[in-house]
Amino acid sequence: MKTTRKHLNGGLTTTWGTLFLAMLFVASCAETPKKEKTPEQEKITEQEPTTKMVSAPKQIISIEEADQLFTNYTERRANAILKMELAEQAAEEKEFVPTRFVTFDINVLKEYIAFVEQEGNKAGTQVDSLRIYLGNYGKNKESWKKKKRNTVFFVPAAKTAEGYGGIFINDEGKAMLIRDYLATEQDTPQQKASLLPTFTPTPPQNQSLILNVGEGGPPPRPDFQ
């Protein structure tokens, strides 16, 4: 009887020991430590770009509507411009073709928007829109690609102490209205003749925020007929 109990106790001890070892093995597998990233791997992770989806602006128009706008311009503006310019054109000049579009490099536009926002913030205001003005290079341009051709230029608009409108940055770093600047320039009286020499001060270094110098078309061929 004693022998039987001894063997029984020994068997139980062996069973519990085996079970304990098995539990330790499972726990060690479940708690495998994560491998730490090397500095190079951490740097790559930090540089991974996060793509943010952008919704289409509500001002997007259809291709058909854009084509109709282009056709309307041809019939109501471009043909009239062509007729007028050809009537004034010398025989030896290259035949005039009206401007139908103006191209700006997309990276230039991104840089321009960042620049005007930066300058506006520095001047204590916030540029909230861009005005696109129509213009014309006139008869004095040497290049036939620009001579007498239409163009566009961008003017950032913001609120200033004087009101809202297209702005520039004056020599004191303050945002000012372009219309006030031009009115001041026109109202400045001409310097009267004098026997004594006069000192002409250095004009203030204003910072214009107006963008032009795009590539007008044609050429190349426009997208619409």
Strand partners, 130: 156
Kindly state whether residues 78 and 179 are assigned to the same domain: no
Kindly state whether residues 109 and 119 are assigned to the same domain: yes
Q: Which of 141, 114, 142 is closest to 130 using CA atoms? A: 114
Query: DSSP assignment, residue 190?
Result: P
The first and second tokens of residue 4, run together, are 């039987």
Kindly state whether residues 117 and 145 are assigned to the same domain: yes
Please give the tally of structural domains in the chain: 2
pLDDT in tens, 213-222: 777 655 556 7
Q: Among all chains, which residue has been given the structure tokens 């109990």?
A: 5
Kindly state whether residues 93 and 107 are assigned to the same domain: no
Contact 110, 130 (CB under 8 A): no
At position 52, the amino acid (one-letter code) is K
pLDDT band at 13, cuts 50/70/90?
Answer: low
- Whether pTM > 0.85 for this model: the answer is no
Q: Considering the domain boundaries, does residue 115 fall inside one?
A: yes
Q: Which of 98, 113, 148 finishes a domain?
A: 98
pLDDT in tens, 61-99: 999 999 999 999 999 999 999 999 999 888 888 888 899
